[in-house]
Amino acid sequence: METEQTLVLIKPDGVQRGLIGEVIARYEHKGLKIVGMKLQQLPRDTAETLYAIHHGKPFYDVLIEFIISAPIVALAIEGRDAIELVRILNGETDPRESQPGTIRGDFSINITHNIVHASDSPQSAQRELEIVFTPEERYKYHRMDEAILHPSVV
Ligand code: CMP
């Protein structure tokens, strides 16, 4: 188990449906730490950089137009195994395959409007965090429940 940081975007559908607080609560209640957060409408070039891996795929143009269509909330999330834990909390990319209890399983039926994006590996987390956050925008602080969440290291 390793302390990691990962990038989450609450997509325009999550923001426009009033789900910002609900989504953030899922991560916070799990024991993950929000170390960076901002509301912003992504410039097209930033969206294209973030999603460069999908360039040329059939859904690429729709994905880019959607992600820049309205503000998103970007979160830098820290915790032990944060990358995997966030992806478990999010559910499958296709909400129709997501279990109830996950964010996508509870709130979405559409693969484009699937509420959240999260980094899928340590390499993509580092790359994506650096695209969206400056080092100063990721903060260091202690949660008061860390001794309970991680008794072996406190
Ligand atoms: P996300 O985790 O943001 O990464 C890329 C996004 O492309 C994905 O979530 C979906 O919203 C969107 N997408 C649309 N169609 C597909 C597809 N067939 N496979 C994967 N992602 C898709």
User: Among 13, 51, 42, 6, which residue's Cα sits nearest to residue 27?
Assistant: 6
Contact 112, 66 (CB under 8 A): yes
- Measuring from atom 15 of ligand 1, which residue has the nearest CA? 59
The answer, as to whether pTM is greater than 0.85, is: yes
Q: Which has the higher per-residue pLDDT, 56 or 149?
A: 56
Quote the pLDDT of residue 2.
87
Contact 1, 36 (CB under 8 A): no
Tell me if 114 CB under 6 Å of ligand 1. Answer: yes
Using CA of residue 125, residue 115, residue 68, residue 110, what is the dihedral sign? positive
Token pair for 137: 């925008």
Tell me if 124 CB under 6 Å of ligand 1. Answer: no
Q: Which residues are catalytic?
A: 117
Token pair for 114: 């699937």
pLDDT tens by residue, 68-118: 999 999 999 999 999 999 999 999 999 999 999 999 999 999 999 999 999
Tell me what the mean pLDDT of segment 130-135 comes to: 98
Model confidence at 154, pLDDT cuts 50, 70, 90, reads low
Model confidence at 150, pLDDT cuts 50, 70, 90, reads confident
**DSSP summary character for residue 119:** -
Q: Name 47's Cβ contacts closer than 8 Å, sequence gap at least 6.
A: 64, 67, 68
pLDDT tens by residue, 21-75: 999 999 999 999 999 999 999 999 999 999 999 999 999 999 999 999 999 999 9
Using CA of residue 84, residue 89, residue 91, residue 95, what is the dihedral sign? negative
Quote the pLDDT of residue 97.
98
Task: Give the chain's domains with CATH numbers.
Answer: 3-142 (3.30.70.141)
User: How many whole angstroms from 84 Cα to the centroid of ligand 1?
Assistant: 18
Quote the pLDDT of residue 12.
98
User: How many whole angstroms from 58 Cα to the centroid of ligand 1?
Assistant: 10
